[in-house]
Structure 1
Amino acid sequence: MGHYSQILPVILSGGAGSRLWPLSRQAEAKQFLALSGDRTMIQETADRMSGPEFLPPAFICNASHVDQIQTQVPDHGEILVEPEGRNTGPCAMAAAMHVMATDPDALMLLAPADHVIERPDAFREAVLRAAPIAAAGHHVTFGMTPDYPATGFGYIQQGQPIDAGLFQIESFREKPDEATARGWLETGGYHWNSGIFLFKPSLVIEEMLTLANDCANPARKAYVNATRNGAVIALEPQAFARCKPEPIDIALMERTSKGAVLPCDLGWRDIGSFRAYRDLHAAGDDSVIFGDGYSQGSHRSLIDTDGPLVALVGLDNVGVIVRDGRILVVNLDAAQDVKSIVTRLKADQREDML
């Protein structure tokens, strides 16, 4: 088993939550909203990565999110500002550079800011169980135990056992159709890809410069040449713009021979659509209502309004979202397509609606 000092969480907070428009908008992205409880998603994320084993969390975000992070998570580490979105591969490289500069003996826990984990104590236990394996030279990802044949997530197929419930990664699988997902559930050994990783940062730097240099090397330069203002580290824009925009799953995890997966049952949910938002709060076929709303003869539906009364009659599987005069009506089976409306609004230069 490898040695490490502490664990430095790096929380990815660059997303805009386009599939949750108009609930999530540029001024208040979904990670800054209380979608699952009384605290915001980014606060819950930081909370479950706290304790004596953890250093204060660092963040990677765009410039417009810095103030919200500082307000919502007062006990934070450095905030790395990405000049533009280049996916999670360059972010992971910059994060590894930062952890090495902060404490070269620390491990890096890389996680999105906008996931729900209903059993945070079990999450911390899983991280600590994986830590010696990561310190010994494995890139560990946390595979969530599937409880239904989800088609909106990627999957990880486990291979041969390594130690302490961890396995080699046999393969990464793209989002399946329902029949394929059902088959994987019946077969076993397939886990939802959570996008949460535990790394030895020096190994991330070494392998990414070898396996994904066009993604990693510009990110390395962007960190080295960053502008520092207190706890805010602004990555150098010209270098960062040259990063190949790859996710960390492709840039590193699908190419390395040192990947490992720890299967976990943590009550994990990714609120990536209004269907997922409804399902998080639903009891069976009931409709979910936030704000001033009525549902009559309607099932499996969602109302979320910030003021105007919304009444839903005789419609199943429908979402009605009202925010600041913006109204979305969506069939929840098509909830993943809400992002296309955001794309059209951008194309029409209607930034005031975003």
Structure 2
Amino acid sequence: MPRTDAIVPVILSGGAGTRLWPMSRPERPKQMLPLTAEETMLQLTARRAPSDAGFAAPIIVANALHADMIVEQLEQTGAEPQAVILEPMGRNTAPAIALAAVAAGGGATPLLVMPSDHVIADIPAFHAAIAAAMPKVAEGWMVTFGITPDHPETGYGYIQVGEAIGDGVHKVSRFVEKPPRDAAEAMVASGDHVWNGGIFLFRADIFLAALAEHAPEIVAAAQTSMNRAIREGNRILPDSAEFARSPSDSIDYAVMEKAAQVAVVPVAMGWSDVGSWDALHAISDCDGQGNACRGDVVAIDAVNCLVRAGAGKRIALVGVTDLIVVVDGDDVLILPRGRSQEVKRIIEAMKDQPGK
């Protein structure tokens, strides 16, 4: 794998994952849960960039509330992070990555930015895409990895793939917001659009320079808050007042859509953002009736259901089709498959009910 330095994985673990309520909650979001395997999604993410494949120790950027949980889970994988940056408040991905770039020294070190709650089934394909990107990264390009689409998804952003600038590497022609159905169908049919998977590779100094040009308030807040941070071993607590000065913005809006040297590596690697219970069903191992059941579940004459029973709970289904049933603690979620994005309506409704 060509590189100027060992690649530093930057794992973003600040999300709340409320779309997978009731199992995912602010105090224990989806990246901390074993949703797709015996290990949690955070642990699986850390394993994608192991030291024996030439990666450096990771930098984790996370919610301060989850500090102990993150350290404990990473210890179980044998991963020793070089830094666990504990955000005093959420400010979206651009400021979070800026903290990591500063922590990495702000030089030519390549940073591989990964959300902590995605699935990548084909790790060799992922590593091959990283290797393809590295020569352009060394030259100062910022690279995103575009997921080869297999259906016209309206819940993802898209990237139009431009001219080739290397082996498997292309210029980005444009970023596209989450499209309506007809536009998504047209982009998939065209063959020159990929999903925006939110995974990036660039040098720390190049990213910070792009921020300084396009979003100077973000980089100023990140640098000052890190200069005044409290450090406890490998835990870094950026100064709260200084970090609060940062605008809240995504890396796409703040930098990637504005910078000149932005490239994309299209890759089919069994990716999913597991953004809903429907998405989890789609990537789960199902029985002969299409049911994905976990926990203490009895399913009789049930077809194409996703069923999750939390600790100490039993779920029994008879003669039902296309249901999502999730029980966690005293909370029960029941809804038809295909409507799991509407969990956000449940979250909003509960906010309006005192004591919920």
Question: TM tier, shorter chain?
Answer: over 0.9
Is 1:113 paired with 2:116? Answer: yes
What does 1:68-147 correspond to in 2, within 5 Å?
68-74=69-75, 75-100=80-105, 104-147=107-150
Question: Secondary structure of the residue that 1:69 maps to in structure 2?
Answer: helix
Pairing 1:295-306 to 2, within 5 Å after superposition: 295-306=299-310
Task: Measure the CA separation in 2 of the matches of 1:158 and 1:312.
Answer: 46
| Residues 285/248 of structure 1: CA separation in 2 closer, same or farther (3 Å cut) | farther
In the alignment, which residue of structure 2 is the partner of 1:204?
Answer: 207
Q: Which residue of 2 aligns with 1:37?
A: 37
Residue 309 of structure 1 aligns to which amino acid in structure 2? R
Aligned-partner Cα distance in 1 for 2:88–2:348: 20
| 1:292 aligned partner | 296
Contact 1:6 1:105 in 2 (8 A): no
Secondary structure of 1:100's counterpart equals: coil
**Counterpart mapping for 1:1-354 below 5 A:** 4-52=4-52, 53-74=54-75, 75-100=80-105, 104-283=107-286, 286-306=290-310, 307-348=312-353, 350=355
**Superposition deviation, residue 348 in structure 1:** 4.2
AA aligned opposite 2:298: Y
Q: CA deviation at 1:260?
A: 0.3
Distance 2:3 2:308 in 1: 48
How many angstroms apart in 2 are the aligned matches of 1:339 and 1:68?
Answer: 25
**SS state of the match for residue 339, structure 2?**
helix
Q: 1:323 Cα deviation (Å)? A: 0.5
Aligned equivalents of 2:352, 2:61: Cα separation in 1: 27
Deviation (angstroms), 1:109 = 0.8
Give a deviation string over 1:284-329, Cα, whole Å, max 9, x none.
8612211232344443221111233323344433211100111111
Retained in 2: the 8 A contact 1:160–1:167?
yes
Pick closer, same or farther for the CA change 1:241–1:343 going to 2, 3 Å.
Answer: farther
Asked whether the 8 Å contact 2:51–2:57 carries over to 1, the reply is: no
Runs of at least 5 residues in structure 1 that lack an aligned partner in the other structure: none
Give the deviation of 1:240 after TM superposition: 1.3
The alpha carbon displacement at 1:229 in A equals 1.0
Work out the CA distance in 1 between the residues paired with 2:103 and 2:350: 36
Matched residue count? 348
Aligned mates of 1:140, 1:106 — CA distance in 2: 14
1:115–1:268: 8 Å Cα contact kept in structure 2?
A: yes
Q: Measured at CA, do residues 349 and 80 of structure 1 come closer, stay the same or move farther in structure 2, by a change above 3 Å?
A: farther
Q: Give the TM-score, by structure 2 length.
A: 0.92
Q: Which moved more, 1:217-226 or 1:82-91?
A: 217-226
Deviation, structure 1 residue 208: 0.5
Give the % identical residues. Answer: 36
Looking at structure 2, the residues matched to 224 and 260 of structure 1 have their Cα atoms a distance apart, in angstroms, of 31
| Bigger Cα displacement from structure 2, 322-331 vs 308-317 | 308-317
In 2, Cα distance between the equivalents of 1:111 and 1:10?
6
How well do the aligned residues superpose, as a CA RMSD in angstroms? 1.9
CA distance in 2, matches of 1:327, 1:73: 30
